[in-house]
């Protein structure tokens, strides 16, 4: 079959072109054009209504002296790095545990996957209640001062958001890791057993290297997702207290619409886009090299 | 995902534009004779909360007028929609909006008619007319918007607790602190703060600053002749003093949760406005509350009720039937109709002789009737200047144990910096 296909180009059913064509047009109209328009407006002084003029690179240059934007980038990077690492560590542990021969495995897997099916806004609102009412009571009962007030109203608000992001994010990452684990040949483990590799050694020398493709996917997707964190923050702190949890996406939305800075925040969005692309490419390069080495 | 952010932004505005288009498409933006020979007017209302009451009054008008039909438009995010329509020269005939910076933009663009010659103007309280002058572009003394309904902010207190503890309504700052101390000594919670929702952090600030800031501060600051540093130290100090009497978790309590707690007697006082009262009553129908003007100063005459124009009425210059539109505004300004509005909306009237009779605000009605009012301080700040963020930062620093002097210094410096960034026309 395969050889035949290589020798002569197979006739492709025209239906595929129609499918792809329709989608390409829709994608272009609803995704690419708005994106290009956003890039276009980032070179103007448009407030979201009324007249506008071209201002060249002014919006981009202003970003470097704007303290709000700087703080948002610092918060976002801190948040993204911590959350990406935590999510992957926890997911890996969970996946290994769920891959072991335990009872009710599938039921437990379903429980862990549940958060992924809830919208992050809803989860945010639920945790809002938990942080406002349940956690402080627990903190008071245990006499822990840091937990006896709503954590979202303190300097540690970021950790509240990290906890929620962890809860939501682990579901998907665990799933990818489980899939990766199941594709590892059991022969490898038997051989490792014979050679005396067990426990943590088996994990670090056998399991983790063989999970490299899953690890790459999870690291890249998590980092990208957390650099653009938005829903959880809007549901839980609205960027507060003060500006302590204002991520870049939140800043773009709030100032772009409420503050009449549509054009300037469009520029901010373009920069964020470039930053995310660069980080993703960088990660892919490094992680794929690692995969090759291990493979 | 980033593309999503941008496309959401752009699509959002597209939708806003489409909405505006829908609103005006029936009659191309200004009034038009419909097929039956009737004049159709469009009333654009920016306050979603009062839609039903406005509709009720409009229905009453339509029933009694055969030749004119008024239609109400009240879209979400109305301020943006109105500005979009303005840019397209698609102004509605009549606007009902707040006396805030949205009004300034509409008025400043020369969209509204001078209504100073109308009969009802002589019955409108001077204090609110002055507030309209203040938000007019360049402080022009022309009535482009007629004050219709007003609001009030101050200290809301639980009258039963006051009686229980044998307390009197404080008239001065010292008396106020004394009262707070007495409540604390009696083992009750004196003040409830809901700063998780940052906008509520503005409530005490708006009252204290309105009473104590130099009279010409708003103008001078805009012109760059003065700064927050050097004029707002006492105000900030008093603002921070209040936090001593707030509950431990004042940064973590949300407005909704706080209102429930206050209604159920968890605290004796809360600083907010008349708009919150319906929430207290929903949470606890038996709650007995009243309101007093925030006593910022030891000079009683300076302690005014913080009150602004909640709804004003304006007529568009481009309306094809200006007389009918003016007639509708006159109808709205009839005492009976204003009374209906304030009774249903729980607000106050800008008309002399029309009073809010609900006991929950009886403590401030007299001051409002006598015009002893001052506008919300933040109505004078530029629209991009977000005071609530700075105030929650100030409060958070206090909660973290930062030295007051350093905190105040840093806060006022920030105020000036952010103000300058936002102060562009």
Q: What is the pLDDT of residue B360?
A: 87
List pLDDT tens digits, range B19-31.
333 333 333 344 4
Query: For B5, which of A151, A238, A269 is closest by C-beta distance?
Result: A269
Mean pLDDT of B218-245: 93
Residue B408 has pLDDT above 90, yes or no: yes
List pLDDT tens digits, range A77-124.
999 999 999 999 999 999 988 888 888 888 888 888 888 888 888 999
CA dihedral A98, A102, A107, A113 (to 10 degrees): -10
For A135, the closest chain B residue by CA position comes to B252
Cross-chain residue pair A256–B83, CB shorter than 8 Å = no
* Domains parsed from chain B with CATH numbers: 2-150+309-357 (3.40.190.10), 153-306+381-422 (3.40.190.10)
Quote the percentage of chain B above a pLDDT of 90: 62
Partner A contacted by B83 (CB < 8 A): yes
User: Which residues does A2 contact at the CB level (< 8 Å), separation at least 6?
Assistant: none
User: Three-state SS string across chain A, please?
Assistant: CHHHHHHCCCCCCHHHHHHHHHHHHHHHHHHHHHHHHHHHHCCECCCCCCCCCECCCHHHHHCCCCHHHHHHHHHHHHHHHHHHHHHHHHHHHHHHHHHCCCCCHHHHHHHHHHHHHCCHHHHHHHHHHHHHHHHHHHHHHHCCHHHCCCHHHCCCHHHHHHHHHHHHHHHHHHHHHHHHHHCCCHHHHHHHHHCCCCHHHHHHHHHHHHCHHHHHHHHHHHHHHHHCCCHHHHHHCCCCCCCCCCCHHHHHHHHHHHCCCHHHHHHHHHHHHHHHHHHHHHHHHHHHHHHHHHC
Residue B58 has pLDDT above 90, yes or no: yes
DSSP 8-class letter at B136: S
Who has greater pLDDT, B384 or B309?
Answer: B309
Q: To the nearest whole number, what is the mean pLDDT of chain B?
A: 87
Smallest CA–CA distance, residue B266 to chain A, in Å, is: 15
Mean pLDDT of B98-115: 87
Residue B15 has pLDDT above 50, yes or no: no
Tokens 């303005």 sit on residue: B86
Q: What is the pLDDT of residue B37?
A: 67
List pLDDT tens digits, range B375-393.
998 888 887 788 999 999 9
Residue B196 has pLDDT above 50, yes or no: yes
Cross-chain residue pair A243–B400, CB shorter than 8 Å = no
Spell out which residues of chain A touch residue B83, defining contact as CB-CB under 8 Å: 49-50
Cross-chain residue pair B6–A224, CB shorter than 8 Å = no
This model's pTM is above 0.95: no
φ, ψ of residue B158 to 5 degrees: the values are -85, 110
Partner A contacted by B84 (CB < 8 A): yes
Query: For B384, which of A238, A240, A260 is closest by C-beta distance?
Result: A260
Q: What is the pLDDT of residue A74?
A: 95
Partner A contacted by B57 (CB < 8 A): no
Q: What is the pLDDT of residue A8?
A: 64
Which residue of B80, B81, B91, B196 is the best one to mutate when testing the A interface, meaning the one whose CB has the most A CBs within 10 A?
A: B196
List pLDDT tens digits, range B330-383.
999 999 999 999 988 889 999 998 988 888 888 899 899 888 999 998 888 887
What angle (nearest 5°) sits at the alpha carbon of residue A206, between those of residues A204 and A208? 55
Q: What is the pLDDT of residue B425?
A: 52
List pLDDT tens digits, range B266-295.
999 999 999 888 889 889 999 999 999 999
Q: What is the pLDDT of residue B407?
A: 95
Residue B152 has pLDDT above 50, yes or no: yes
Smallest CA–CA distance, residue B393 to chain A, in Å, is: 4
* Domains parsed from chain A with CATH numbers: 70-294 (1.10.3720.10)
Q: What is the pLDDT of residue B424?
A: 67
Ranking A143-152, A225-234, B138-147, B300-309 by mean pLDDT, the lowest is A143-152
**Residue of A151, A164, A156 lying closest to A229 (CA atoms):** A164
Smallest CA–CA distance, residue B228 to chain A, in Å, is: 19
Cross-chain residue pair A37–B250, CB shorter than 8 Å = no
Q: Binning pLDDT at 50, 70 and 90, where does residue B32 land? A: very low
Cross-chain residue pair B2–A256, CB shorter than 8 Å = no
Partner A contacted by B424 (CB < 8 A): no
Cross-chain residue pair A242–B80, CB shorter than 8 Å = no
What angle (nearest 5°) sits at the alpha carbon of residue A24, between those of residues A23 and A26? 65
For A273, the closest chain B residue by CA position comes to B2
Low-confidence ranges of chain A (pLDDT < 50): 1-2, 4-5
Smallest CA–CA distance, residue A17 to chain B, in Å, is: 25
DSSP 8-class letter at B153: E
Distance from C-alpha of A100 to C-alpha of A109, rounded to nearest angstrom: 12
Cross-chain residue pair B3–A35, CB shorter than 8 Å = yes
Query: For A38, which of B1, B6, B86 is closest by C-beta distance?
Result: B6
């Amino acid at each position: 079959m395969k050889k035949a296909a290589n020798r002569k180009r197979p006739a492709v059913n025209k239906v595929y072109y129609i499918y792809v064509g329709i989608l390409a047009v829709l994608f272009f109209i609803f995704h690419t054009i708005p994106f290009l328009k956003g890039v276009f407006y980032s070179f103007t002084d448009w407030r979201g209504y009324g007249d506008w003029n071209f201002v060249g690179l002014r919006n981009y240059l202003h970003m470097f002296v704007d303290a709000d934007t700087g703080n948002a980038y610092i918060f976002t990077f801190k948040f993204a790095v911590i959350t990406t690492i935590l999510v992957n560590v926890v997911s890996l542990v969970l996946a290994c545990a769920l891959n072991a021969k335990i009872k009710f495995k599938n039921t437990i897997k379903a429980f862990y996957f549940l958060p992924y099916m809830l919208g992050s806004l809803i989860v945010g609102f639920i945790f809002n209640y938990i942080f406002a009412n349940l956690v402080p009571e627990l903190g008071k009962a245990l006499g822990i001062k840091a937990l006896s007030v709503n954590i979202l109203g303190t300097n540690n608000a970021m950790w509240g958001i990290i906890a929620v992001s962890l809860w939501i994010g682990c579901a998907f990452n665990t799933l990818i890791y489980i899939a990766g684990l199941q594709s590892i040949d059991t022969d490898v483990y038997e051989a490792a057993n014979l050679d005396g590799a067990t426990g943590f050694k088996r994990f670090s020398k056998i399991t983790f290297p063989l999970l490299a493709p899953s690890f790459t996917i999870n690291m890249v997707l998590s980092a990208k997702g957390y650099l653009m964190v938005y829903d959880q923050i809007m549901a839980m702190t609205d960027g507060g207290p003060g500006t302590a949890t204002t991520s870049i996406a939140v800043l773009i939305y709030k100032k772009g619409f409420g503050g009449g800075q549509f054009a300037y925040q469009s520029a901010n969005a373009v920069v964020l886009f470039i930053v995310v692309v660069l980080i993703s490419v960088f990660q892919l390069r490094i992680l794929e090299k690692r995969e090759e080495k291990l493979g | 995902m980033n593309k999503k952010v941008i496309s959401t932004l752009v699509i959002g505005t597209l939708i806003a534009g489409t909405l505006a288009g829908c609103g005006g498409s029936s009659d191309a933006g200004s009034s038009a004779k419909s097929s039956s020979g009737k004049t159709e007017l469009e009333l654009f209302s920016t306050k979603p909360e009062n839609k039903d009451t406005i509709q009720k009054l409009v229905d009453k008008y339509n029933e009694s007028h055969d030749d004119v039909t008024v239609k109400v438009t009240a879209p979400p995010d109305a301020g943006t929609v109105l500005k979009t329509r303005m840019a397209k020269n698609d102004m509605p005939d009549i606007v009902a909006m707040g006396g805030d910076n949205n009004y300034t933009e509409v008025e400043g663009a020369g969209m509204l008619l001078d209504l100073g010659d109308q009969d009802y103007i002589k019955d409108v309280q001077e204090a609110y007319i002055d507030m309209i002058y203040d938000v007019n572009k360049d402080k022009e003394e022309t009535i482009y918007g007629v004050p219709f309904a007003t609001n009030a902010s101050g200290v809301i207190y639980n009258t039963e607790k006051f009686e229980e503890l044998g307390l009197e309504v404080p008239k001065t700052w010292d008396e106020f602190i004394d009262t707070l101390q007495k409540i604390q000594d009696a083992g009750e919670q004196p003040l409830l703060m809901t700063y998780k929702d940052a906008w509520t952090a503005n409530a005490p600030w708006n009252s204290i600053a309105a009473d104590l800031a130099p009279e010409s501060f708003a103008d001078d600051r805009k012109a760059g002749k003065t700064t927050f540093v050097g004029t707002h130290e006492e105000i900030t100090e008093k603002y921070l003093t209040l936090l001593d009497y707030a509950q431990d978790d004042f940064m973590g309590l949300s407005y909704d949760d706080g209102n429930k707690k206050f209604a159920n007697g968890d605290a004796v006082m809360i600083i907010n406005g008349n708009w919150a009262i319906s929430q207290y009553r929903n949470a606890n129908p038996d709650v007995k509350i009243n309101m007093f003007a925030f006593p910022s100063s030891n000079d009683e005459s300076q302690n005014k009720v913080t009150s602004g124009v909640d709804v004003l009425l304006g007529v568009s210059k481009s309306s094809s039937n200006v007389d009918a539109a003016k007639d509708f505004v006159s109808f709205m300004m009839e005492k009976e109709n204003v009374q209906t509005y304030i009774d249903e909306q729980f607000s106050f009237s800008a008309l002399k002789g029309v009073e809010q009779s609900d006991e929950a605000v009886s403590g401030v009605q007299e001051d409002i009737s006598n015009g002893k009012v001052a506008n919300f301080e933040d109505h004078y700040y530029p629209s991009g200047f977000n005071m609530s963020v700075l105030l929650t930062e100030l409060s958070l620093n206090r909660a973290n144990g930062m030295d007051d002097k350093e905190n105040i210094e840093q806060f006022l410096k920030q105020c000036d910096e952010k103000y300058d960034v936002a102060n562009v026309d």
